[in-house]
């Protein structure tokens, strides 16, 4: 069906670029996938992702959900805590939208290595995908018109975006982020924690058994100091900020610290080049929204490129339609995460009252919990229309 179309070039073989390559190859597009890292380097990153229901539906559409099931760590409760006012709200399965309840989980945590090994295996077997990884990726982008579409999925420092001089707006937060995998003692592995603290949010995400991914926001210098500590000293510092009842037992990897920013390309396309995922936008990691937002980019682009009109008339209109289709979701999530960080990192008395009232309403109003969880799980834009079954 798509054999007459020019090949598609995807720059970046991380989770977003690889999923797009698989989805487009499934419908017959010829894909050239480039990444400066080797397959082993791409797979070896030590981190984990919080997957929401929008990502579950996307992976199901690609035929990957069941294959990933053995590596998924579901959580049935999301415990939200405001440390400054000592208030906690729990989101459970009963707060999910009716179309999501059959999954029996509020969300899932997935290890990067397990995900990427499966995706690389699929890509290597596909007859529609040519991989240019590591040294082979040095083939330059002589002309964007050699391809039906060039998809930049090469991350927040996107070389493609820089080379083609896309406009780019960015604001650095005073906070940085530290990630680490930690084993805890005697803990319920079906609960995820999001703690709001004056120095920044702290997420504790279950990886299965007693292992958890810690995502710790704090001033960047402090994050770097923490990352340089010996394991015992790091765990001692971590133990002072954990929710009640959590006791760290062992550090499972080397903590990594990096700066945080909110950023956006005012226009997500230029000619036949589109920016997908963090090459086009970046938000604060609070609530685990980043990867899910990137995958909704990929799902939108895949839907546009597999529509009957695109196959019949070509891809010329796709970049403009993609930008138009993604902006509301991207702006909504960026605004919401920025507002949460500013609201919960502030100790002004008036804002403390707002937070007390907001958490009181969440705790006592099932409707507010359902709406809030739907916005987190499926994207804010789904509040305006029906979710698919």
**What digits encode the pLDDT tens for the residues 100-159?**
999 999 999 999 999 999 999 999 999 999 999 997 777 666 677 789 999 999 999 999
User: Is residue 369 included in any domain, yes or no?
Assistant: yes
CATH number of the domain encompassing residue 37: 3.50.50.60
What is the pLDDT at residue 310? 65
User: Is residue 332 included in any domain, yes or no?
Assistant: yes
Question: Average pLDDT for residues 294-319, to the nearest whole number?
Answer: 86
Beta-sheet strands, E only, within 185-282: 191-196, 202-208, 211-219, 248-251, 256-264, 269-270, 273-275, 281-282
**What digits encode the pLDDT tens for the residues 209-218?**
899 999 999 9
User: What is the overall mean pLDDT for the chain?
Assistant: 91
User: Is residue 336 included in any domain, yes or no?
Assistant: yes
**What digits encode the pLDDT tens for the residues 4-23?**
468 999 999 999 999 999 99
Given a cut of 50, is residue 347 above it in pLDDT? Answer: yes
Per the structure, how many domains does the chain have?
Answer: 1
Domain around 341: 8-47+112-169+262-384
Q: How far apart are CA 235 and CA 173, in angstroms?
A: 25
User: Is residue 188 included in any domain, yes or no?
Assistant: no
Given a cut of 60, is residue 313 above it in pLDDT? Answer: yes
User: Is residue 127 included in any domain, yes or no?
Assistant: yes
Residue 193: pLDDT band (50, 70, 90) is: very high
User: Is residue 12 included in any domain, yes or no?
Assistant: yes
User: Is residue 62 included in any domain, yes or no?
Assistant: no
Given a cut of 70, is residue 192 above it in pLDDT? Answer: yes
User: Is residue 320 included in any domain, yes or no?
Assistant: yes
Q: In sequence order, what DSSP letters do the residues of 119-185 get, joined into one string?
A: HHHHHHH-TTEEEEEGGGGG-----GGGSSEEEE-S-TT-HHHHHTT---EEEEEEEEEEEEEEEES
Neighbouring residues of 290: CB distance < 8 A, sequence distance ≥ 6: 278, 282, 283
């Amino acid at each position: 069906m798509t054999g007459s179309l020019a090949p598609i070039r995807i720059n970046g073989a991380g989770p977003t670029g690889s999923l797009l390559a698989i989805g487009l190859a499934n419908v017959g597009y010829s894909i050239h996938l480039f990444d400066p890292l080797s397959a082993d380097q791409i797979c070896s990153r030590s981190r984990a992702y919080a997957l929401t229901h929008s990502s579950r539906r996307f992976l199901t559409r690609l035929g990957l959900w069941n294959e990933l099931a053995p590596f998924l760590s579901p959580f049935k409760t999301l415990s939200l805590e405001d440390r400054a006012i000592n208030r906690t709200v729990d989101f459970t399965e009963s707060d999910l939208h009716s179309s999501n309840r059959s999954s029996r989980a509020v969300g899932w945590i997935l290890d990067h290595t397990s995900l990427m090994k499966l995706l690389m295996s699929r890509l290597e077997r596909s007859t529609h995908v040519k991989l240019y990884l590591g040294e082979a990726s040095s083939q330059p982008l002589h002309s964007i018109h050699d391809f039906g579409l060039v998809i930049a999925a090469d991350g927040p420092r996107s070389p493609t975006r820089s080379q083609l001089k896309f406009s780019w707006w960015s604001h650095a937060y005073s906070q940085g982020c530290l990630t680490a995998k930690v084993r805890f003692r005697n803990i319920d592995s079906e609960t995820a924690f999001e703690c709001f603290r004056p120095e920044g949010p702290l997420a504790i995400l279950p990886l299965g058994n007693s292992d958890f991914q810690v995502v710790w926001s704090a001033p960047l210098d402090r994050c770097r100091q923490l990352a340089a500590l010996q394991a015992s000293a790091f765990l001692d510092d971590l133990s002072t900020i954990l929710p009640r009842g959590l006791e760290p037992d062992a550090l499972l990897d080397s903590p990594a610290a990096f700066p945080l920013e909110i950023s956006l390309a005012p226009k997500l396309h230029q000619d036949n080049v589109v920016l997908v995922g963090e090459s086009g936008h970046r938000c604060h990691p609070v609530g685990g929204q980043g990867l899910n937002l990137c995958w909704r980019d990929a799902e939108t682009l895949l839907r546009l490129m597999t529509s009957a009109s695109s196959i019949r008339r070509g891809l010329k209109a796709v970049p403009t339609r993609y930008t138009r289709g993604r902006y509301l979701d991207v702006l909504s999530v960026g605004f919401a995460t920025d507002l949460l960080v500013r609201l919960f990192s502030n100790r002004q008395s008036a804002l403390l009252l707002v937070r007390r009232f907001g958490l009181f309403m969440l705790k006592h109003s099932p409707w507010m919990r359902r709406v809030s969880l739907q916005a987190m799980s499926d994207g804010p834009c789904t509040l305006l229309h029906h979710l698919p079954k």
